[in-house]
Structure 1
């Protein structure tokens, strides 16, 4: 028994060594195994045949025929030379047929592998090209599919350094239905012009470059933009490129790489401004999210020749189901919320918020203003504000700089973060007006003792930033943000007043997990940037509009107390609200119900209401207006 167990490993070792010699060894073993089976079975077939030959020679001839038939060797019988030549001819034919089948199989397998790896060309036309892969890809696909829902045929071509099948599975998991829009994934490098050619950028109506994130993310974006502009056939073609850099300092380089006509946004810049605006106006992020998606109201720029010669005040009242917010002059100049007496000239276009482009129609409704419901707001002298910033990331300095442009002299922002080396950075953040004083305190914002020691009741606004102490802003940062919000909610329960909190999240799915109150708001910057780029990809004229909206100067969206416009608890239509806002130099576009402020998905926001509908406002309700800063 022991001897048998010793022989078996040696036989296996010898067999393995012969197999390593390659194809000849494989053919040899296959032939031996086949012969060991075919020859005995052929002999048994002759023996089992009742009409078998009686002589040994004839029996051997029949066995040979059976063996030849199994091996496709023809089975010729004759002289040894004749048999040898027939075997040689049969072997040559067998080799040729086997080689042909092998080559065909290998070619088919290679083609299938190329297709599965996303190596084939995209022959779509008038499609949208998406270069790169990040969390931004899902809202981009979702919104493009929604925008093209009324199109018979539309497509999105994605090129990313990721497996094609994996991309398709991830998209199906996060965007289960894309309607009539076909999503085509290709594997390749977005910084390689040859790979970019595979998604046919020449025939695309727009090329969107996603933000990869990380320390070298902006450098990758610049390289991708250069690769697009240098790819064959793109040099002399008008570019409709869209990209978003993380650091505003890299925007000029990206714009230079993208060329004329491209739209390059700064994520940190826009996110910081939204955080500042939203911390002082809870609900503003919902307004922007609603305006940037294709599911509800959107921005439109449309001609209306019938309004030529009329004033902006008349235009405000000319639409029952659309809200006018400005004008786009014939020379391309944009004027949001211009003075009421501004004249509309031939070739000017109306900038409006509406459900769809076919709902921007002049109304023949005979409206009547309830003058008794209109009020003049009491003057409120500007007072210093106290703001608390919990956490720190690369956007924090921009938030402080932007906040300085809004607050009154003597205002204070206290920053609490884990890194002691930030103390000097906080004190030296550039502040143009110098109205804001910044102070720093060391502490972990997820610790309840740290938060209890901050005298939260003394602050007018609280900002919770997505902490990037570990170098990235991702799932771990959102976990810390959610813990901080829970701690704040627990402490605020004993304060006797609402604590206005705006929190920054990196993943929109975490918004559903966050504790919500009527004074809370959330900024998901990656999602908002994705929505913004999608809007511009569909209508490049919106690029100037968004550039105008997301800057500190000029008009922007505000949520102001309803009591500053109309008498509370009095029934009226929205025409009266629009007229009251106009008298103050504002353009009314909606309202917010305090009683619905904690109810998703709109959190009390009602944009572009039908002006003929009856409504009344209560204490704490707001009117949403376009107004100067």
Structure 2
């Protein structure tokens, strides 16, 4: 046994000192008095003894030391009898206590007043400002997009949440950057109190956005906030209100509470549909983010050019696709507010219809006819789209998973398979949720348990036998850790298996924190969907332009037009030099609206070195290679040659990059190929040459 080290005198003294201080406030004051006397008296004596004019006698010098010490401690300085000196000390102590008490009262009052001011209880005296109610991870995206939408103009954003004002101000300032010209006004208080809502003057605002919190009853709180907001605004015309709810069962209540001025966005359903769209083809999420943020191309509404209104029947929609150089026409908005995205080219443009276009800024370019830049000899030969059953692997389960299964069931061909692997959740309840009433002949769902965080468990799943893998994170984590931790570890395992096999594995992962996007170990055909990010972008777009609410509702509906990435060789032969106007015209032959392209560097690895361009000039000419993709807005349900629910082929699995082979690899019962990297590369090169 190790011999105990003897306790030093310094340690014992420090222990005694700490023990004494911990007894009471009186002991603390006593130590303070002793410490002051231990400094003041010796220094006063040194001052007196070094003064040439000090008394010569010892008693005189001691009296001078007393006077100096008493004046320093503000205890008075009379000398004489001991009683007289004691009374002087008593008066000095009483004066010191009175002054200290007065200073303490004043300091406490000022501190409470400053704390009240920090909580932000004053009325916001602004006009045409944006009001954001609530606090969650979405607030940073929403505030950033509202600031970007008003770039170059005076921008005031008022944020009201039940949090500390200084913390909100610091977090939002750090998110926007110190050099931002946005003026942030933060207020703290209950969102469901009418008097608190009146602090941000929503009646004078240009738009009001209501964000759900991370609490379990967040949707119910959003409904209460909308009711309180309705009480503040009254029945008079007010600013547009945009709110988000997570559960679709709360949609009717939220719409009733918001009234006619409100637009309600469904967060979980939007995330689920984006996951399915990203599983259809890698890169769709990037396209949607570019379309919905204010830093790239976005949707606008413009009038129909006069020169295209020819004949008594009016213009045809197909004639409008080449009437702007950079703005891309994708649909029509009728006078009653009903959108039609990617209608048939022979659709007649009615009186009062407006064009739905995608452009980088508000369309100011003069319309012209760019049909002269179309080279019909550069059109690719028509080819049928691959249609067939698919096999999808879902790793993880959360509250959005049933919505994902529903969206997937609406997007796949009959005979498709979904295998679900859950970690800690019992498989039986998951099987019951996943197999909710629906078309079981279209999608067969099976569930099993597995250790998703253990590398040895995933190889048993025959990963390369699936067309795509979807990874979901937990809703919340109690205790240490983050809900994204499990997703990041699973992605790391999948990436390691992908490198070990030398094959491409399409993976789509859901993350909750946008900062973890940079940390995700993604493969060449992998993508990440940030939970709530798309909803935040939608809310900012609708708040900035309420007329686009119906357009986005059509774009993200379960059935209807949506954004797709098609291989460029569907529109122009590989290696052919053609203008983008030619691609637009070729897409028009397929009843699609080409809005841009995704250029893939042939020298880079698969999925790397890409460049997304939306709204390029119609006059732009380039050589289209085998790996280029064209971004189109298409209405799949309106195409007679494509069965409802057909899922786009996912590259790099059981089919070639060229999409010439059905996702199932032919017949539904055919097993996937397990060729090595050389065989995979050879097949891709042959597909490119073909």
Kept in 2: contact 1:598–1:604 (CA 8 A): no
Partner residue of 1:332 out of 328, 333, 337: 337
Deviations 1:33-70 (A, max 9, x none): 99xx99xx9xx99xx999x9xxxxxxxxxx99xx99x9
Are 2:527 and 1:521 aligned?
yes
Deviations 1:360-387 (A, max 9, x none): 5424656332111112322246222111
Q: For the residues of structure 1 that align with 2:466 and 2:21, how far apart are their CA atoms?
A: 82
> How many pairs align?
608
Partner residue of 1:476 out of 474, 482, 485: 485
Query: What are the residue-to-residue correspondences of 1:140-155 with 2, within 5 Å?
Result: 140-151=142-153, 153-155=154-156
Tell me how far 1:540 sits from its aligned partner: 0.9
Q: For the residues of structure 1 that align with 2:371 and 2:381, how far apart are their CA atoms?
A: 25
Kept in 2: contact 1:322–1:359 (CA 8 A): no
Q: For the residues of structure 1 that align with 2:386 and 2:374, how far apart are their CA atoms?
A: 30
Contiguous gaps of at least 5 residues in structure 2: 1-11, 56-65, 79-95, 637-690
Tell me how far 1:19 sits from its aligned partner: 5.7
Q: Structure 1 residues 528, 603: CA separation in 2 closer, same or farther (over 3 Å shift)?
A: farther
Kept in 2: contact 1:392–1:417 (CA 8 A): yes
Q: Structure 1 residues 348, 423: CA separation in 2 closer, same or farther (over 3 Å shift)?
A: closer
Are 2:267 and 1:267 aligned?
yes
Q: For the residues of structure 2 that align with 1:500 and 1:15, how far apart are their CA atoms?
A: 63
Q: Aligned residue for 1:59?
A: none
Q: Aligned residue for 2:9?
A: none
Q: Aligned residue for 1:533?
A: 539
Kept in 2: contact 1:283–1:605 (CA 8 A): no
Kept in 2: contact 1:405–1:433 (CA 8 A): no
Kept in 2: contact 1:589–1:607 (CA 8 A): yes
Q: Aligned residue for 2:661?
A: none
Q: Structure 1 residues 459, 592: CA separation in 2 closer, same or farther (over 3 Å shift)?
A: same
Partner residue of 2:406 out of 395, 401, 407: 401
Q: Structure 1 residues 251, 488: CA separation in 2 closer, same or farther (over 3 Å shift)?
A: farther
Q: Aligned residue for 1:462?
A: 469
Kept in 2: contact 1:377–1:563 (CA 8 A): no
Q: For the residues of structure 2 that align with 1:181 and 1:578, how far apart are their CA atoms?
A: 39
Kept in 2: contact 1:283–1:603 (CA 8 A): no
User: SS of the counterpart of 1:542?
Assistant: helix
Q: Aligned residue for 2:219?
A: 218
Q: For the residues of structure 2 that align with 1:233 and 1:278, how far apart are their CA atoms?
A: 40
The more displaced of 108-117 and 411-420 is: 108-117
Are 2:326 and 1:321 aligned?
yes
Query: What are the residue-to-residue correspondences of 1:430-445 with 2, within 5 Å?
Result: 430-432=437-439, 434-445=441-452
Q: Structure 1 residues 601, 357: CA separation in 2 closer, same or farther (over 3 Å shift)?
A: farther
Tell me how far 1:72 sits from its aligned partner: 14
Tell me how far 1:556 sits from its aligned partner: 1.1
Q: For the residues of structure 2 that align with 1:492 and 1:458, how far apart are their CA atoms?
A: 13
Tell me how far 1:234 sits from its aligned partner: 4.2
Deviations 1:98-143 (A, max 9, x none): 9998887665444322222323322222111111211111111221
Kept in 2: contact 1:588–1:624 (CA 8 A): yes
Partner residue of 2:120 out of 106, 118, 126: 118
Q: Aligned residue for 2:278?
A: 278
Tell me how far 1:599 sits from its aligned partner: 9.6
Q: Aligned residue for 1:56?
A: none
Partner residue of 2:593 out of 574, 583, 587: 587
User: SS of the counterpart of 1:448?
Assistant: coil
Tell me how far 1:221 sits from its aligned partner: 1.8
Are 2:186 and 1:185 aligned?
yes
Kept in 2: contact 1:504–1:524 (CA 8 A): yes
| TM-score for the superposition, normalised by structure 2 | 0.75
Q: Structure 1 residues 331, 248: CA separation in 2 closer, same or farther (over 3 Å shift)?
A: same
Kept in 2: contact 1:401–1:432 (CA 8 A): no
Q: Aligned residue for 2:141?
A: 139
| TM-score for the superposition, normalised by structure 1 | 0.82
Tell me how far 1:148 sits from its aligned partner: 1.2
Tell me how far 1:400 sits from its aligned partner: 1.4
Are 2:589 and 1:568 aligned?
no
Kept in 2: contact 1:478–1:510 (CA 8 A): no
User: SS of the counterpart of 1:544?
Assistant: helix
Q: Structure 1 residues 100, 500: CA separation in 2 closer, same or farther (over 3 Å shift)?
A: closer
Are 2:503 and 1:501 aligned?
no
Contiguous gaps of at least 5 residues in structure 1: 21-25, 53-62, 76-93
Q: Aligned residue for 2:381?
A: 376
Q: For the residues of structure 2 that align with 1:159 and 1:184, how far apart are their CA atoms?
A: 9
Tell me how far 1:503 sits from its aligned partner: 1.4
User: SS of the counterpart of 1:196?
Assistant: helix
Deviations 1:361-419 (A, max 9, x none): 42465633211111232224622211111111111111111112221111111111123
Q: For the residues of structure 1 that align with 2:241 and 2:317, how far apart are their CA atoms?
A: 33
User: SS of the counterpart of 1:394?
Assistant: coil
Q: Aligned residue for 1:486?
A: 495
Q: For the residues of structure 2 that align with 1:243 and 1:142, how far apart are their CA atoms?
A: 17
The more displaced of 277-286 and 381-390 is: 381-390
User: SS of the counterpart of 2:271?
Assistant: helix
Q: For the residues of structure 2 that align with 1:118 and 1:330, how far apart are their CA atoms?
A: 44
User: SS of the counterpart of 2:406?
Assistant: helix
Q: For the residues of structure 1 that align with 2:273 and 2:130, how far apart are their CA atoms?
A: 29
Q: For the residues of structure 1 that align with 2:113 and 2:52, how far apart are their CA atoms?
A: 49
Kept in 2: contact 1:426–1:438 (CA 8 A): no
Q: Aligned residue for 2:650?
A: none
Q: Aligned residue for 1:199?
A: 200
Q: Aligned residue for 1:258?
A: 258
Tell me how far 1:182 sits from its aligned partner: 0.8
Q: Aligned residue for 1:604?
A: 611
Kept in 2: contact 1:292–1:531 (CA 8 A): yes
Q: For the residues of structure 2 that align with 1:302 and 1:602, how far apart are their CA atoms?
A: 35
Kept in 2: contact 1:321–1:359 (CA 8 A): no
Q: Structure 1 residues 388, 16: CA separation in 2 closer, same or farther (over 3 Å shift)?
A: closer
Query: What are the residue-to-residue correspondences of 1:62-81 with 2, within 5 Å?
Result: none
Q: For the residues of structure 2 that align with 1:473 and 1:310, how far apart are their CA atoms?
A: 55
Query: What are the residue-to-residue correspondences of 1:278-427 with 2, within 5 Å?
Result: 278-306=278-306, 307-308=308-309, 309-359=314-364, 361-363=366-368, 367-380=372-385, 382-418=387-423, 419-422=426-429, 424-425=431-432
Tell me how far 1:187 sits from its aligned partner: 1.9
Q: Aligned residue for 1:169?
A: 170
Q: For the residues of structure 1 that align with 2:608 and 2:358, how far apart are their CA atoms?
A: 19
